[in-house]
Amino acid sequence: MTEQELQALVAAAVNDADLAGKEIPAIDLYLDQILSLVAEKNKSASPRYRERMLTKTMVNNYSKDGLISPITGKKYSYDHIVEILLVYGMKNSLSIGEIKRVLFGVREDCGFDGEALARSYDRFLALKDKNRQRVGTLVESVLAEDALDPQSDEDLFLALLDMLSLSAYLKAVAQEILEARYTDPDQAEKENREREKAEKKAKNEAEKQQKRQVAEREKAEKKAGKVEKKAEKVEKKTEKKEKKTEKAEATE
């Protein structure tokens, strides 16, 4: 592969198209309108990106999996559209579970609201523009530093493996950051369920203990009442006996 051919491949590889924040209408949109906006933008991208269309099923799954905020009715707000585009931008590198963790984390751990997410999205697109330029320079640097000639089939194969390993390491770094900073929503939900279960169990035990104490107190009070009645009965019997004796003595 010649140097010019490799440069053309690199250019095609980074030629995706993103819907910028300023291109998103400020009014609520139906899902079909959102899909049309993204599809229209993708027309300027390379074939590999045009084939990765955003679909109704995908967005419905994003909603079902809790990746985007719940919607009211059938329309999506500006904030919803930004969330959809963020998921769409991460889905080729992260799993659905990892994306959910990122978005849950920035909302719950970092307190991001819709405005903060929208601002982050615009800054992300600016960084992507820089990365498009960086990729070409990085490829040239890797080939030069590792002494790989793309015109050699063996070196081209090694260049492929080299870039795949670099990509894998960068992804691993991103995943390490994700796991270190953001709460796992599934784990958090599991812990909440376990805590609620433990609290319920403790409450039930406390109620049982209270009932046992009440029953024991009532039993003790009942027993004390019987003892008291018995004592009163003995006392009355004694008094009666004493009166009978006194009467007998008075008769004599």
Q: Rounded mean pLDDT of the chain?
A: 89
pLDDT computed for residue 250 by the predictor: 67
Q: pTM, whole model, 2 decimals?
A: 0.74
User: Could you say which DSSP state residue 22 is in?
Assistant: G
Which parts of the chain sit beneath pLDDT 50? Answer: none
Instruction: Please state, in angstroms and rounded to a whole number, the distance separating the CA atoms of residues 198 and 49.
Output: 49
Per the CB < 8 A criterion, the answer to whether 58 and 39 are in contact is no
Place of tokens 């819709």: 114
The dihedral through the CA atoms of 241, 246, 250, 252 has a sign that is positive
Q: What is the pLDDT of residues 198-219, one digit of tens each?
A: 777 778 887 888 888 888 888 8
Instruction: Please state, in angstroms and rounded to a whole number, the distance separating the CA atoms of residues 129 and 31.
Output: 27
Per the CB < 8 A criterion, the answer to whether 142 and 148 are in contact is yes
Q: What is the pLDDT of residues 230-239, one digit of tens each?
A: 777 777 777 7
